[in-house]
Structure 1
């Protein structure tokens, strides 16, 4: 789900205990290496940074609750776009961002 095909987002790449953030806004044609379990797009960098901090520091049960609420957050526009890659890879120390 996206507002427009040209929309650009600050992305969170969730991969196991790792949550990387894109430092520049990227389109929905975003490519991340290693491939994460979940990508969440935000229009606002400060909101993405706040959620990244929460996901990295909260208790796992609270992280799981947040992940479960993503469909509702997408509908209410708290989250602007979500991508669930089909073949996630194990997390690593480096995350590479690009656009296809």
Structure 2
């Protein structure tokens, strides 16, 4: 039981993201698997990822149309970037990180 509890608590960025969605009005409709309803859309947590049952594009469009204050938006963007970095590192652990290129001023 303690292993399962530890596993649930290991995805802190996902938990923060879900907390933000709950603060915006999402409702938990089931816990195993975790399903949220937000503005008529069903969201599902599967394999440590939050996905929309209608597809990821629908979720992106829905989130893009919502009014977020800059702090919430920045936290969500940071969480998404961290999750993307983690996924890339798991798939290609030997790949070097890309260095940002300086912006060209003309």
Higher share in helix: 2
Could you say which TM-score interval applies, normalised by the shorter chain? under 0.3
Question: Based on CA coordinates, which of the two structures has the bigger radius of gyration?
Answer: 2
Higher share in strand: 1
TM-score (norm 1): 0.26
TM-score (norm 2): 0.26
